[in-house]
A and B are shown apart, each in its own frame.
Chain A
Amino acid sequence: MSLLAAARSRTARTRRVKRMPTPALWAAAGFLLLLALSVVLPGLFTAADPVRTDIGAALLAPGPGHPFGTDQAGRDVLARVIYGSRYSLAIGFGATLIALVAGLVIGSLAGLMRRLGDGVLSRAIEIVMAFPEFLLALIVIAIIGPGELSLLVAVAIAVIPAYARVARVHTLVVKRAGYVEAARTLGVSPTRTVLRHVLPNTLGPLLVMAIMGVGTAITAAAGLSFLGLGPKPPTPEWGLILSEGRNYLATAWWIAVFPGVVITATVIATSILGRHVQALSLGRQR
Chain B
Amino acid sequence: MTGHRAGQARRTGRPVARLAARLVAVVLVVWGAATVGFFSLRLIPGDPVNVLIGLGSVSERVRDQIREDWGLADPLVVQYLRYLGRLLQGDLGTSYRMQHPVADVIGQQLAPTVQLMVLAIAFALLLACGSALLGRDTRTASVAGLLELVAVSAPTFWIGLVLIGVFGFGLGWFPVVATVGFGALVLPAVTLSIPVAGIISQVLRQGLDDAEALPFVATVRARGASSTRLLLRHTLRHAAASSVTLTGYLVGSLLGGSVLVETVFARPGLGRVALNAIVDRDVPVVLGIIVLAAVVFSLVNLLVDLVADRLDPRLAAEQAHA
Instruction: Assess whether B278 is in contact with A223, with CB atoms less than 8 Å apart.
Output: no
Instruction: Assess whether A10 is in contact with B36, with CB atoms less than 8 Å apart.
Output: no
Chain A residues closer than 8 Å to B33, beta-carbon distance: 127, 130-131
Instruction: Assess whether A250 is in contact with B169, with CB atoms less than 8 Å apart.
Output: yes
Instruction: Assess whether A253 is in contact with B281, with CB atoms less than 8 Å apart.
Output: no
B193, CB-defined interface residue at 8 Å: no
A31, CB-defined interface residue at 8 Å: no
Chain A residues closer than 8 Å to B298, beta-carbon distance: 130
Instruction: Assess whether B293 is in contact with A130, with CB atoms less than 8 Å apart.
Output: yes
- The winner among A143, A176, A239, A242 for most chain B CB atoms within 10 A is A143
Cβ-closest chain B residue relative to A134: B256
Chain B residues closer than 8 Å to A260, beta-carbon distance: 154-155, 158, 161-162
CB distance from B112 to the nearest CB of A (A): 17
Considering the chains assembled together, what is the distance between the CA atoms of A242 and B155 in angstroms?
11
- In the complex, given contacts A135-B256, A257-B161, what are 9 additional A-B residue pairs having Cβ atoms less than 8 angstroms apart? A3-B246, A4-B152, A4-B199, A11-B202, A127-B33, A127-B36, A134-B260, A139-B290, A245-B161
| Number of A-B contacts defined by CB within 8 Å | 160
Interface range for A: 35 or more
Chain B residues closer than 8 Å to A253, beta-carbon distance: 165, 169
B148, CB-defined interface residue at 8 Å: yes
**Cβ contact of A223, chosen from B157, B161, B279, B322, cutoff 8 A:** B157
Q: Could you say which of B15-23, B37-45, B312-320 contacts chain A?
A: B37-45
Q: Could you say which of B80-88, B93-101, B247-255 contacts chain A?
A: B247-255
Q: Which residues of B contact A (CB under 8 A)?
A: 1, 3, 28-29, 32-33, 36-37, 40-41, 43-45, 145, 148-150, 152-158, 161-162, 164-165, 168-169, 176, 195, 198-199, 202-203, 206, 209, 246, 249-250, 252-253, 255-257, 259-260, 263-264, 274-275, 277-279, 281, 286, 289-290, 293-294, 297-298, 322
Instruction: Assess whether B153 is in contact with A268, with CB atoms less than 8 Å apart.
Output: yes
Cβ-closest chain B residue relative to A254: B165
A71, CB-defined interface residue at 8 Å: no
Chain A residues closer than 8 Å to B150, beta-carbon distance: 264, 268
Cβ-closest chain B residue relative to A8: B152
A72, CB-defined interface residue at 8 Å: no
A68, CB-defined interface residue at 8 Å: no
A267, CB-defined interface residue at 8 Å: yes
User: Can you name 5 A-B pairs with beta carbons within 8 Å?
Assistant: A130-B33, A132-B255, A219-B153, A260-B161, A263-B154
CB distance from A259 to the nearest CB of B (A): 8
A256, CB-defined interface residue at 8 Å: yes
Instruction: Assess whether A4 is in contact with B165, with CB atoms less than 8 Å apart.
Output: no
Cβ-closest chain B residue relative to A172: B3
Binding site secondary structure of chain B: helix
- The winner among A134, A264, A267 for most chain B CB atoms within 10 A is A134
Q: Which chain A residues in 134-158 approach chain B with CB under 8 Å? A: 134-135, 138-139, 141-143, 145
Chain A residues closer than 8 Å to B154, beta-carbon distance: 260, 263-264, 267
Instruction: Assess whether B263 is in contact with A126, with CB atoms less than 8 Å apart.
Output: no
**Cβ contact of B45, chosen from A145, A228, A239, cutoff 8 A:** A145
Cβ-closest chain A residue relative to B257: A134
Cβ-closest chain A residue relative to B28: A123
Q: Which residues of A contact B (CB under 8 A)?
A: 3-4, 7-8, 10-11, 14-15, 123-124, 126-128, 130-135, 138-139, 141-143, 145, 169, 172, 176, 215, 219, 222-223, 226-229, 239, 242, 245-246, 249-250, 253, 256-257, 259-260, 263-264, 267-268, 271
Considering the chains assembled together, what is the distance between the CA atoms of A239 and B156 in angstroms?
12
Instruction: Assess whether A227 is in contact with B259, with CB atoms less than 8 Å apart.
Output: yes
Chain B residues closer than 8 Å to A130, beta-carbon distance: 29, 33, 293-294, 297-298
Instruction: Assess whether A11 is in contact with B195, with CB atoms less than 8 Å apart.
Output: no
Instruction: Assess whether A3 is in contact with B165, with CB atoms less than 8 Å apart.
Output: no
Instruction: Assess whether B32 is in contact with A124, with CB atoms less than 8 Å apart.
Output: yes
Known contacts A126-B29, A127-B29, A257-B165; A226/B157 CB under 8 A: yes
**Cβ contact of B152, chosen from A7, A143, A245, cutoff 8 A:** A7
Considering the chains assembled together, what is the distance between the CA atoms of A4 and B155 in angstroms?
11
Chain B residues closer than 8 Å to A246, beta-carbon distance: 161, 264
CB distance from A156 to the nearest CB of B (A): 16
Considering the chains assembled together, what is the distance between the CA atoms of A4 and B154 in angstroms?
10
Chain A residues closer than 8 Å to B250, beta-carbon distance: 3
Chain B residues closer than 8 Å to A143, beta-carbon distance: 40-41, 43-44
Considering the chains assembled together, what is the distance between the CA atoms of A245 and B169 in angstroms?
14
Considering the chains assembled together, what is the distance between the CA atoms of A271 and B286 in angstroms?
34
CB distance from A29 to the nearest CB of B (A): 16
CB distance from B19 to the nearest CB of A (A): 18
Considering the chains assembled together, what is the distance between the CA atoms of A165 and B285 in angstroms?
29
Instruction: Assess whether A3 is in contact with B253, with CB atoms less than 8 Å apart.
Output: yes
Chain B residues closer than 8 Å to A124, beta-carbon distance: 32
Instruction: Assess whether B29 is in contact with A132, with CB atoms less than 8 Å apart.
Output: no
Chain B residues closer than 8 Å to A257, beta-carbon distance: 161-162, 165
Instruction: Assess whether B153 is in contact with A8, with CB atoms less than 8 Å apart.
Output: yes
Considering the chains assembled together, what is the distance between the CA atoms of A14 and B207 in angstroms?
10
Cβ-closest chain B residue relative to A265: B153
Cβ-closest chain B residue relative to A169: B322
